[in-house]
Structure formats: C-alpha cells, structure tokens
Amino acid sequence: MRGSLRDFWQRISEGRAIDDLWSQFAADAQSSYGFYGKDVNWEEIDKLPRWRRPFPIIKQFFWALLSKMTPARRVLLLAAFALLFLSGMKFDAGGSSNFQLNFELFAALLFLLLLSLELADKVIMKRDLEIAREIQSWLVPSNPPQIHGADVAFSTKPQNSVAGDYYDAFYPNDDAASGGKLMLVMADVAGKSVPAALLMATLQASLHTIASEGFSLSELAKRLNHYASAHSLEGRRFTTAVIGEFEPATRRFTYVNAGHNSPVLRCANGNIVRLESGSLPFGITSEATFPSSEIHLQPGDTLILFTDGVVEAFNSAGQEFSDERWVAIVRALPILPARDSLHFLMKQVDDFVGATRQSDDITCLVLRCS
C-alpha cells in the first residue's frame, strides 16, 4: 500500500520537492492574479473604505473569470454554484417530516466537466504553440557563425511558447570564408505570443531578402520601415531594433538603432559605451530616417545586445532588474569567451528573478573580439 501511494505521488508530482511545487504554485497564482486583475477597476476599489473592499474585489474577479469563458460554460459554472448553494438546505414538508437537498456530487461533477473542457483547450493550444515554436526556431540561428578574430553567442527565453523577440547573426551573401561583413540583429516586436511571433517572422524574411541586395545600412533600415509601416495597424504594431554590420578585418561595427534598448560595449579597459538610439522604431511612420553610426572595437572588447525583457524582469518582491543593475553587471563581467560571458550575464538575471514567472521575452547576444 505504501509503495502504491509513493508511486502515485511520484507520478503526480513528477518527483519534484515540496518547495519546488510550492514555488511553481506561487508563480502560477501570481500570474493568474495579474491576468484577471487587469479587468478589475482598482481606482473604484481604492475609493471604498477598506472594510467594504473584499466583496467588490471578489465580484469583479468573478466577472473577469466569467468573461473569459464561452456562454455555455458560464451557464455550467453558474449551475454548479447554484447546486452547491442549494446543497444542505432543509425543507419542512409539514408535521414531523422534512427533507434535505444534497447536490454536492452533481456540483463536483459539473466543476470537473468544466475543468476537463478548459484543460482540453489548453492542451490543444499548447500543442499548436509547440509546433509554432519549432517553426520559429528555424528562423533564428541555432549555432553561432564562425568569425575571424571574434566569437558570438546568443540566448532567448520566450515568455510563452513563441516569442516576439528576434536575434540573428549571419553573412548576407554567405561570404564568411572571404571575411565579409557579419550582420548582427536584435529586435523586439510590440506585443507578445502569436501575433508578435508572426510579425517577427515577416521581419526576418524581409531583412534577409533586403540584406542580400547590398544596400547601405541606412537604406536597409528605411526599406524595412516602409514594409513595417504598411502592416503596423497605424503604428500599433511597431518594432524596435538594432541592426549592425561587423567587419572582422577592421573590427568596425556600423549600426542603426531604431528605438531599441541601447547596446552596451564593455571595453577591454573596463569603460562602458552605450550605442544610443538614433531614430524611431520601425512601423511608426514611413517618413522616418535611420542614420547609421560606427565604432571600432579593440581586442578584448565585448558588445552586448539585448531586449527590454532583460532590464524589465522583476522578482517576487516586485523589484525591477533595471538598466542600472544590468550595466553594473556588465562592468563586472570577467574576461571570458562570448558563450561564457552570455552564461554569466543570464545567470545574474535568473538569480534575481528566482521563481517569478517572466513578464516578457528575454533575449541577449554577445560579441567578443579576441
């Protein structure tokens, strides 16, 4: 009997410790609270005395829950609650006879039915998202390209199964052997999940096509912006990006920053240089211009491109990782190859966040000159 219970618990918990299960539950509860809490009118709640707030909060959370369900499932949920409310009520039939209603079993069966329906939807959606994630992984490099005199590494952690972040490192005309220019990209599409992932895919396809035609970086960005503006829903679907060209022979890095987080250059001597934004994000207006800038890297320099999910990550206390903390960690970065540098940086973010569920995609790319 004890062995059967142990096997049952192992199957249910997948062998995880109680602390790990509790951390996962806490993260799920926090995420659900934020999800349903968006539909709560907190300004109206804050105007009430503290002793009157619980019931309006429960009421608005309940309506937020109902609004996420189909009409048929709403009726089932209300029926389950009605059966639960009626259970235990006693009725006097006159004289000494009375009877009591017991609908707990029926209410439990309705709740179980609702749970199974919602779970089926989630499993189907998860399967579709996993397929989408696999397709999306084909659009970004799985292994870093070989670079003469430098090395590059990259990492991404989607908030959901699919991401709106886009990173890339490629030779536009496959001229790696001849020491041609390496294209480095870090972009973040406004929004999350499937809509952002679809726009990311179109950005990737457009970029690879335009880059192979040999345009200057400013002209390349201008053409990308024209396409993005035509499909941005009047500027609501914009994309921030850093697009750069690295010449291994001269270690010159030419770049355009279209409203993106300023990349950090950690010089070999410990100085920090920021590659500031020089233009609007793609998709805001088709009239935007994209001036390019350039810097010359030195042996031992490390260039770090990242998305806002890094600096806007928060922990269980609600504290933001922040750009200042990120720069301080980059300044303290040991002299390591690109892959080890990336691992060092991402570990600092993971340690800060802990078990808190991330609120955005987290992506980082590191280029180090040797």
pLDDT tens digits along 145-192: 999 899 999 998 887 666 678 899 999 876 655 457 899 999 998 876
Neighbours of 304 (CB within 10 A): 24
> 295, 262 in Cβ contact below 8 A?
no
Q: Is 247 helix (H, G, I), strand (E, B) or coil?
A: strand
Does the pTM exceed 0.75?
Answer: no
**Which of 11-25, 45-59, 356-370 has the lowest average pLDDT?**
11-25
Domains of the chain: 2-91+99-135 (no CATH), 141-369 (3.60.40.10)
pLDDT value at position 339?
95
Mean pLDDT value of segment 75-91:
82
Q: At 328, is the pLDDT very low, low, confident or very high (cuts 50, 70, 90)?
A: very high
Nearest CA-CA partner of 156 in 296, 2, 346, 359: 346
Is the model's pLDDT at 262 over the cut of 70? yes
**Cα dist. 16→21, 22, 143, 192, 288 in Å?**
7, 10, 32, 30, 52
Please report the pLDDT score of residue 273 as a whole number.
Answer: 94
